[in-house]
Amino acid sequence: MAAAGPALPPLREVIARHGLAARKSLGQHFLLDLNLTDRIVRAAGALEGVTAIEIGPGPGGLTRSLLQSPARAVVAVEKDARCLEALAELGAAFPDRLRVVEGDALEMSLSELAGAPRRLVANLPYNVATALTLGWMDQLAAAPSLVEGFTLMFQKEVAERLTAAPGGKAYGRPSVLVQWLCRAETLFDIDPRAFTPPPKVTSSLVALTPRPEPLAPAPKPALERITAAAFGQRRKMLRQSLKGVTGDPAGLLQAAGVAETQRPEDLPVEAFCALARALASRDQR
């Protein structure tokens, strides 16, 4: 992919010229190896005719690979104003292909950023990666055809949480809220040395593919309350932890067909959905 585009200065030179010393507060760990950024874009699947939305382009390594992909356009959201000049230079090398939006991606709606079809591809800022992903799940619950797919880099530990099956320590609230709406799969790991500066931990690239239908029907606010209460005390049995959402946890569990002695980490997503439906129907009474 990289070979097909216009001649561009090395990323290290771009970083030096624009004074883009990495800031920890913005979760900045840059990818400078364009073979790796190409690999990430290839892993994002078919981009023909799709607008690629990138969160946190930074100096623009992954952005270059996206611009050289068949995506019809790239919309890149960056909070760090120091990067804007470098990104404007990159945009000039690919006329009418790159739109940079300055601001906090946590506050943005994907549907307002770009027209459909959309795919998200990003090396996420680790300090807000889970919050961003759960925010996108909110948006996806409200608009099921919002995004064709998400290809996102996380800390490995977070990736494990998002992709975990019931029955282990990694399975928790993010696993349920994400897998309710998406198939979640780790594509490959990336060594810390691939980043500048290197983070302390290994990273993983994760594919989240929206399901045609949620795994089971559930009102999202009730699903959020149930999972917060259950995983807030994850070692307790549900008859204890669900006291946080109802005065009658035994009745709620019975209505949902879930054993009182279950612990949340063993409960499949569908069972959380049954609990959410039971909670919502009680709230309506």
Q: Is 123 in the site for ligand SAM (CB under 6 A)?
A: yes
Considering the rule CB under 6 A, would residue 205 count as an interface residue with ligand SAM? no
Q: Are 190 and 205 in contact (CB under 8 A)?
A: yes
**Residues 126-165 vs ligand SAM: string with x where CB under 6 A?**
--x-------------------------------------
Alpha carbons 174 and 34: distance in angstroms, whole number: 31
* Nearer residue to ligand SAM within complex by CB, 59 or 214: 59
Output the smallest distance, CB 168 to ligand SAM, in A: 27
Closest residue to ligand SAM, Cβ-based? 56
Quick one: which of 29, 64, 161, 225 contacts ligand SAM (CB under 6 A)? 29
Q: Is position 91 an interface residue for ligand SAM (rule: CB under 6 A)?
A: no
Out of 6, 46, 48, 104, point to the residue binding ligand SAM (CB under 6 A). Answer: 104
Of 35 and 284, CB closest to ligand SAM = 35
**79 is a contact residue toward ligand SAM (CB under 6 A):** yes
Residue numbers of the site for ligand SAM (CB under 6 A)? Answer: 26-31, 55-58, 61-62, 77-80, 104-106, 123, 125, 128
